Amino acid sequence: MAQGIKRLGISVAVLIAAAVTGAFALSLTIDRGALRQAVEQQLRAATGLQLVVDGDIDVTIFPRSTVTFSNVRLKSDEDGGTDAALSVKTLITNLRLLPLLLRRFEIADVMLNQPSIHVVRDAGGRSNWTPFIDSLTRTMKPGLDDQVSFSEIRLQDGELSYRDETAGVQEHIDDIDLSLAWPSISRTFAATGQFDFRGERLDGSITVADFIAALRGDTSGIKLRLAGAPMKIAFDGTIANKTSLSLIGTVSADSASLRNALRWAGQEPPGTGGFGRFALKARANLIGASIALTNVNVELDKNVAEGVMTYTLAGGHQGLQATLAAGSIDVTPYLSTIRLLASGARDWNRQLFDLSSADPVDLDMRLSAAKVTIGSTTLGRTAISANLRGGALALSVGEAQVYGGIAQGTFGVSRSDKAASIKAQFQFNDVELQTCAADLLGVRNLSGRGNLSVSLEAEGASPFGLAQSLDGSALLTGHDGAISGFNVEQLLKRLERRPLSGGGNFRSGSTPFDKLTVSVRFADGIATADEVRIDGPTARISLSGTASVPAREYDLKGVASLAGGSAAKPGFDLPFIVQGPWDDPLIFPDPESLIRRSPASAPLLDAVKDRKTRDTVRSVLERITGKKQDAEPPADAPAAAQPEPKAN
């Protein structure tokens, strides 16, 4: 056995030596010029492109059979420009071994080292790669005798630059490492690899089922995958390019942060809240610069919706149209950055709005939801349409179930370089006043049901600036409710009996009403009460005065009356004052009116106002005390006047 193994080893060694000797001898006998010409012809036959070599050509037969071209440009016969669409620092072709032993030169694979790809699309929509595609289509027709196929083409450390003169778009891709399976007749084309785009490393792959049909513009199956830190995208469908590029199939995309993905794509999302986890799956139909999505299932920040979407790109202008329906939507994250009030304070936020961001995308969206959450407010079935064009937002609420009633209206926001302008018109019908007044007006002591109509306009660079310029009107009507914080009937009856008994419990209890009417006008941030009237079963209240929106303070005067008065015995009327901040105002009766209603104090009040009575009282006090009482100087007396001398 040992002798047999020894003889086998010697035989193998002899065969290897013979192969090496034969390969070395072959390398000496092969015509390198013919080999180089054969390789150039095969490259031209395979690609339909002209090989222009500006550098050296190196032919190696042993130990590997390669032909290396330096500083190569691949051009079509129609391309007369000096800037080649494809230039390569080093092009290496590896030859098949068995055909080489038979003196046939066949390329096994091609390596493009440091290739530079230039893609330019002119204003007419024609690309500098169009002649290349036409050449490939002619040279790769089925049935050609000189059909040539490479097993693989590899691109290493390449770059791609793209310029669209129509849209004004320029992009650059670096560090391209790709492996392409070059097809033969009715074979697929596949490419897979990695590249850097906008500072992110991406993995990509593409598979074309019928590459020749795709080159002709006929329909072919296609699969596309793109994955990176910003986003993952996948497409599975068909491709055709007769008059314009057409893609039909299923598209899916997901991202851990849509905000980061939009920034990576060159779009700055609004605000600083929301736009987190994102996922989309839809049936896509792309024709030219427009893509229509049907059977859309989209998820954003745990909000799930279904519907249709259309995205268009024309002349560098982007537009998005969408019609979506959802079960439940929470918009709180997107409004969290809109702080009207300063943190921990009652004042308006004075931080300036960010008016510098651009809005390159026009939005036209219609959304319906069974439930919408806005902070602590929950809306029932809601239908909303939003339109964003040129930085101006128009929001229309067709119908929303809110505060136990129905709301309708419009809200518009436009901006200039220095200020933002808002316009709002809303109508709330048959709503619960307790939650509605608390959320919209900051009034938390009102209950019942009623209607509220609001029409407001403002312009400013901050929430405080908007409050200073607020104009418009508001009308609130209510019924069958109450005002908490004071019991007008109880207070009036006690003060009617004892006007000076005090008002220690003035801010306790509640006052029911049958009808409530509040009509207010706004001008430059000042709200003027045209009519404020509360009619209850036992008391009536009317108010007049103003309220400062920037300062968030009341300055009102009112009259409270007991109901049930007659001509013979009129009802008890009590003037009162409302002053102080909106969320905690001071409410107190007019002290002079209470003194006048007291039988014991009213004469004293009149006496104090009469000069003769004051002199008589002072004289009596002087006789009793024996001390001189300082007399009040007349209104027109000088401040430094000397007292009169004593009478003898």
Q: Is the pLDDT of residue 37 over 90?
A: no
- Asked whether residue 149 carries a pLDDT value surpassing 70, the answer given is no
What span, in angstroms and rounded, lies between the C-alpha atoms of 467 and 490?
38
> Pairing relation of β-strands 152-164 and 107-121?
parallel
Amino acid at 296: V
**Cis preceding linkage at 183, omega within 30:** no
The pLDDT of residue 641 is 44
Burial letters 67-95, b for 16+ CB under 10 A, else e = bbbeebbbbbeebeeeebbbbbbbbbbbb
Residue 529 pLDDT greater than 90, yes or no: yes
Query: Please, are residues 230 and 252 in contact by the beta-carbon 8 Å criterion?
Result: no
Q: Which two tokens stand for residue 474?
A: 């508001």
- Tell me how far apart the alpha carbons of residues 527 and 521 are, in angstroms, rounded to a whole number: 5
Model confidence at 610: pLDDT above 60: no
The residue among 337, 394, 338 whose CA lies nearest residue 362 is 394
Q: Which residue has the tokens 């209950």?
A: 447
The Cα 204–Cα 234 span in angstroms is 10
Flag whether pLDDT at 141 surpasses 80: no
Q: Tell me: pLDDT of 643 over 50.
A: no
* pLDDT mean over 160-164: 89
Query: What count of Cα atoms within 13 Å lies in the side-chain half-sphere of residue 465?
Result: 13
Q: pLDDT at residue 645 above 50?
A: no
233: left (phi over 0), alpha (psi -120 to 50) or beta: beta
Rounded distance between C-alpha atoms, residue 175 and residue 194, angstroms: 8
SS3 content of the chain, % helix, strand, coil (to 5): 20, 50, 30
Q: By the 8 A CB rule, do 589 and 575 touch?
A: yes
Q: How confident is the model at residue 473 (pLDDT cuts 50, 70, 90)?
A: very high
Q: Are the CB atoms for 226 and 232 separated by under 8 Å?
A: yes
State the average pLDDT over residues 442-456.
Answer: 88
DSSP state of 302: T
Does residue 25 have a pLDDT over 70? no
- Give me the pLDDT at residue 648, please: 38
> Is 90 exceeded by the pLDDT of residue 88?
yes
pLDDT tens track for 182-231? 665 456 888 999 999 999 999 999 999 888 788 788 899 999 999 999 99
pLDDT at 609 over 70: no
pLDDT tens for 305-334 read: 999 999 987 766 788 999 999 999 998 888
pTM of the model: 0.73
Phi, psi (rounded to 5 degrees) for 77:
-65, -25
Window from 48-52, 164-168, 339-343, 413-417 with minimum mean pLDDT: 339-343
Q: Is 193 left (phi over 0), alpha (psi -120 to 50) or beta?
A: left
Q: What is the pLDDT of residue 14?
A: 63
Does the structure show a pLDDT above 90 at 285?
yes
CA count, 13 A, side-chain hemisphere, 108: 11
| Whether 210 contacts 188, CB under 8 Å | yes
Asked if residue 73 has pLDDT above 50, the reply is yes
pLDDT at position 233, please? 96
pLDDT band at 564 (very low <50, low <70, confident <90, very high): low
The C-alpha atoms of residue 80 and residue 508 are separated, in whole angstroms, by 93
pLDDT of residue 519: 95
At residue 228, the pLDDT reads 94
Higher pLDDT, 196 or 14: 196
Quick one: tokens of 520? 């207010």
Distance CA 96, CA 544 (A): 100
pLDDT digits (tens, 9 = 90+) for 378-393: 889 999 999 988 778 8
The alpha carbon of 590 is separated from its chain's Cα centroid by a whole number of angstroms, namely: 53
236-258: average pLDDT: 92
pLDDT beyond 80 at 250: yes
Other Cβ atoms closer than 10 A to 222: 22
- Residue 346: predicted pLDDT: 65
- pLDDT (0 to 100) of residue 533: 94
Q: Using alpha carbons, list the distances in angstroms from residue 518 to 208, 426, 442, 509, 543.
A: 70, 16, 15, 22, 9
pLDDT over 70 at 425, yes or no: yes
Q: Which pLDDT does position 642 carry in this prediction?
A: 45
Given a cut of 60, is residue 631 above it in pLDDT?
Answer: no
Q: Is the pLDDT of residue 291 over 60?
A: yes
Average pLDDT in the chain: 80
Compute CA distances 170 → 65, 130, 262, 429, 587, whole Å: 40, 19, 17, 53, 67
Asked if 166 and 289 touch (Cβ cutoff 8 Å), the reply is no
Residue 81, token pair as written in the block: 């420009």
Residue 260 pLDDT > 90, yes or no? yes
Token readout for 181 is 């399976």
